[in-house]
C-alpha cells in the first residue's frame, strides 16, 4: 500500500521502517529535517507526503502535534482525497480525536485511532499491540499495515475508544511502575539486594509485564528513554483530564502525577519514565542497582 508516515520519533521511525520491510511504498515526513528511513521517500511537508499516499499514518508526540501535522499550513488535510484513511498512533485526547474524526469525515476521509502499547522494543521488533477505535471496515482495509508493525489489533469500539482504552492502560503502567519503584527503594534501604527482590517478584504472583520490561534497565541504572518521562507525564494529564470530564475520581493517579511534576522540575523529562525511581532514591539516601552498578 502507499503510506504517508508522519513523525519519525522513537516509535515512528521503526514503525515506518517495518512498513518498508514488508514491501509497502512509504513516504515519510518528520518535523525536524534530516530524519531518514532506509527505503522510504522523504517528503518536504505532511501535505506532500499525503499527496503520494492512500493511507496517512501519524505517530507524533501529543494532541497539539497531531493538529499541527493535519491542519496547519502544508498539513496533510489539504492533500486528503475521498476514500483515504488517516490512522493516528499517537496517544492524544479522546475528545479532540472525535472532533478530528468529524472534520475529516466532511472530506469523505475515514479515521482510525490506533495508539500502541509495546514501547520502543515492541516498535523495533514489529510486536506492537494496536488499540483501535473506529469502523470495522476501515480497520480491515489497513490490516496489512497493522500486520507489518505489530502482533495484534484490539478493536475497542467506535471512534476514540482506542484512545480511551490506551489512557486506561497507561494509568496502570504508571501506577504498577511506581509500586515497583517504591518497593525497590524500601527493600534497598532495609538491606535487601534489588536483584534478589526482582527475582522474588518474578517468581510470584506480583510478577508483571511492566516489571519484565523495566527491571533489566533499572538494575543497570539505564534510564535512556524507551518511553520518555515527558510522554508518560503527558498521558497522565490526558487521563486526569478525561477523568475530570467524565466525573471519575482517580486519587492514586493524582498522587503519581505529583511525582512526575517533581521529576519534571528536576530535569528528568527526556529520561525514561523509570527515572521517577531517582527521586525515591534521593529521598531515601540510597542507590538501587546490582552490586556492579551501585
Query: Residue 108's closest CA among 71, 80, 82?
Result: 82
Shortest Cβ 60–ligand NA7 spacing (Å)? 3
114 binds ligand NA7 (CB under 6 A): no
Our finding on whether 86 is near ligand NA7 (CB under 6 A) is no
Instruction: Work out which of 42, 68, 182, 269 binds ligand NA7, going by CB under 6 A.
Output: 68
- Residue 107 CB neighbours (<10 A): 13
Interface region with ligand NA7, contact rule CB under 6 A, candidates 18-26, 58-66, 249-257, 285-293: 58-66
Please name which of 41, 57, 47, 66 lies closest in space to residue 4, comparing C-alpha atoms: 57
CA distance 56 to 24: 13
Judge contact between 46 and 97, C-beta under 8 A.
Answer: no
Q: Does residue 132 belong to the site contacting ligand NA7 (CB under 6 A)?
A: no
- State in angstroms the smallest separation of the CB of 293 from ligand NA7: 25
The CB-of-199 to ligand NA7 minimum distance in angstroms stands at 30
Q: With binding defined as CB under 6 A, does residue 10 bind ligand NA7? A: yes
Q: Cβ 119 to ligand NA7, closest distance in Å?
A: 8
Question: What is the spatial distance between Cα 237 and Cα 248, in angstroms, rounded to a whole number?
Answer: 14
Under rule CB under 6 A, residue 32 binds ligand NA7:
yes
Residue 231 is a binding residue for ligand NA7 (CB under 6 A) = yes
User: Quick one: 178 or 235, whose CB is closer to ligand NA7?
Assistant: 235
Measured N-to-C along each axis, helices 94-105 and 229-245 cross at an angle, to the nearest 10 degrees, of: 80
In angstroms, rounded to a whole number, what is the distance separating the alpha carbons of residues 163 and 65? 16
Using CB under 6 A as the binding rule, whether residue 101 contacts ligand NA7 is answered as no
| Active-site residue, from 166, 189, 234, 282 | 166
Q: Which stretch binds ligand NA7 (CB under 6 A): 31-39, 94-102, 216-224, 283-291?
A: 31-39
| 21 tagged catalytic | no
Cβ atoms of 59 and 12 within 8 Å: the answer is yes
Q: How far is the CB of 121 from ligand NA7 (least distance, A)?
A: 12
Q: Of 174, 207, 201, 175, which Cα lies nearest the Cα of 187?
A: 201
Catalytic residues: 166
Residues near ligand NA7 (CB under 6 A) are 7-12, 30-32, 35, 59-62, 64-65, 68-69, 90-91, 231, 235
Amino acid at each position: 500500500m502507499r503510506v504517508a508516515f508522519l513523525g519519525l520519533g522513537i516509535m515512528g521511525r521503526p514503525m515506518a521502517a517495518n512498513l518498508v520491510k514488508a514491501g509497502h511504498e512509504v513516504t515519510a515526513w518528520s518535523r525536524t529535517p534530516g530524519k531518514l528511513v532506509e527505503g522510504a521517500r522523504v517528503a518536504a511537508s505532511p501535505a506532500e507526503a499525503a499527496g503520494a499516499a492512500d493511507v496517512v499514518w501519524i505517530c507524533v508526540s501529543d494532541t497539539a502535534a497531531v493538529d499541527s501535522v493535519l491542519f496547519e499550513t502544508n498539513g496533510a488535510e489539504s492533500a486528503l482525497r475521498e476514500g483515504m484513511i488517516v490512522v493516528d498512533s499517537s496517544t492524544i485526547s479522546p475528545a479532540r480525536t472525535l472532533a478530528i474524526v468529524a472534520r475529516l469525515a466532511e472530506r469523505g476521509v475515514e479515521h482510525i485511532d490506533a495508539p500502541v502499547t509495546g514501547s520502543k522494543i515492541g516498535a523495533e521488533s514489529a510486536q506492537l499491540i494496536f488499540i483501535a477505535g473506529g469502523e470495522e471496515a476501515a480497520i480491515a482495509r489497513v490490516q496489512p499495515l497493522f500486520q507489518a508493525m505489530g502482533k495484534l489489533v484490539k478493536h475497542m469500539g467506535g471512534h476514540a475508544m482506542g484512545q480511551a482504552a490506551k489512557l486506561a492502560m497507561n494509568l496502570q503502567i504508571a501506577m504498577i511502575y511506581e509500586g515497583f519503584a517504591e518497593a525497590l527503594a524500601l527493600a534497598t534501604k532495609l538491606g535487601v539486594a534489588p536483584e534478589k527482590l526482582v527475582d522474588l517478584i518474578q517468581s510470584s504472583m506480583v510478577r508483571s509485564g511492566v516489571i519484565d520490561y523495566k527491571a533489566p534497565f533499572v538494575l543497570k541504572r539505564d534510564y535512556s528513554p524507551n518511553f520518555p518521562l515527558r510522554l508518560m507525564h503527558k498521558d497522565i494529564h490526558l487521563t486526569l483530564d478525561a477523568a475530570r470530564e467524565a466525573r471519575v475520581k482517580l486519587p492514586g493517579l493524582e498522587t503519581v502525577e505529583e511525582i512526575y511534576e517533581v521529576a519534571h522540575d528536576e530535569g528528568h523529562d527526556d529520561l525514561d519514565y523509570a527515572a521517577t525511581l531517582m527521586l525515591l532514591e534521593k529521598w531515601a539516601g540510597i542507590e538501587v542497582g546490582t552490586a556492579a552498578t551501585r
